[in-house]
Amino acid sequence: MVNKLQVGVLALQGDFAEHIEMLSNFNVDVHKIKNKSQLEKLDGLIIPGGESTTIKKLIDRYDFENAIKEKINQGMSLWGTCAGLICIANKLTEKDPMPMGIIDVEVSRNWFGRQVDSFETNIEFKGIEENIKAVFIRAPIVTKVKNNVEILSKLTDGTIVAVKQDKILGTSFHPEISGSSKVHEFFINLTSS
């Protein structure tokens, strides 16, 4: 019998419940992660959208950063969505919060404006056959990538909204509320590779 993948969602703040619900559609064991000792059993971790400054403060307060980096070095996959992407970036165009420097990209926060400027659009996503619906809520964008980072999706104006570096995935948008589990499936496949 093959062991199920162990996938966690960082449940400090933000829309972790929606990710957990989406992951329940797959043959994986899903874990709500509230302390760093729970990372030990994981094959993959999602840092959800929410308020990036708050999420990063809680990551620091509960001493998650080094534990996450250590697990990545051991082969764990990681996916940051929206605020999660901000937290895992190498650099931000703004001063705060201090990102963890996990994926070699520069990110700009709240690129599209305030909450009232949120929108949905269909996008192409490399590795997913059909277009997917992407929901952008006070979303960041990727402004710069290093050569080791693969661009998975751009808006029609060329704005980068999804990237991958090894087993690290970052998306500007919120796949967990789109009604489609295609990006979660992509992450699970990345985790199992």
Q: Per the residue annotation, which of 31, 82, 87, 184 is the catalytic one?
A: 82
Q: How far apart are alpha carbons 44 and 31 in whole angstroms? A: 10
Q: Per the residue annotation, which of 19, 31, 65, 174 is the catalytic one?
A: 174
Structure tokens at 189: 């496949």
Q: How far apart are alpha carbons 55 and 75 in whole angstroms? A: 23
Count of CB atoms situated within 10 Å of the CB of 17: 13
Q: Per the residue annotation, which of 18, 19, 176, 184 is the catalytic one?
A: 176
Amino acid (1-letter code) at residue 129: E
For residues 55 and 9, the answer to whether their CB atoms sit within 8 Å is no
* Residue 174 appears among annotated catalytic residues: yes
Q: Give the single-character DSSP code of 13.
A: S
48 prior amide bond cis, ω within 30: no
Count of CB atoms situated within 10 Å of the CB of 135: 18
* Residue 87 appears among annotated catalytic residues: no
| Residues designated catalytic | 82, 174, 176
